[in-house]
Amino acid sequence: MFTAGFGSLDSSAMIKEQQLGLFADRTSTSWMRSNQLRLYFSSFAYILVHALRRVGLTGTELANAQCDTIRLKLFKIGAQIRVSARKVWLSFSESYPYFNLFQQVLLRLQQIPLCC
């Protein structure tokens, strides 16, 4: 059985956070399959954000933040991305207020060993 490590979170609070923060309530098409696919994407995004919160945001100001706050402060940023043959360059705006937090989370995530 798969356990995502949600601990003692209330299931109704988790559903509400997913609906409000990750737009799981948007079922705007008339086809059930497309609405189901949107719900799958939203559920997968919630699992990824929760894992980020547990692994990368521990001990930071966003350790107990809701999905919407994490999305607005860490994901929804204006950055220029340049890709070369060997590297990916991220150029942030000089006025990005969460650069140090972003860098700290990125370093934590880079230390996770990848195993296949």
Q: Which residue has the higher pLDDT, 99 or 4?
A: 99
The pLDDT value recorded for residue 49 is 86
Q: Note the pLDDT tens digit of each residue in 7-53.
A: 555 666 655 565 555 555 666 667 778 777 887 888 888 888 888 98
Instruction: Count the Cβ atoms, other than its own, within 10 Å of residue 56.
Output: 22
- pLDDT given at position 20: 54
State pLDDT tens for residues 71-106: 888 888 888 899 999 999 988 888 888 889 989 998
Q: For the whole prediction, is pTM greater than 0.75?
A: no
Q: In this structure, are residues 60 and 85 in contact, taking their beta carbons and an 8 Å threshold?
A: no
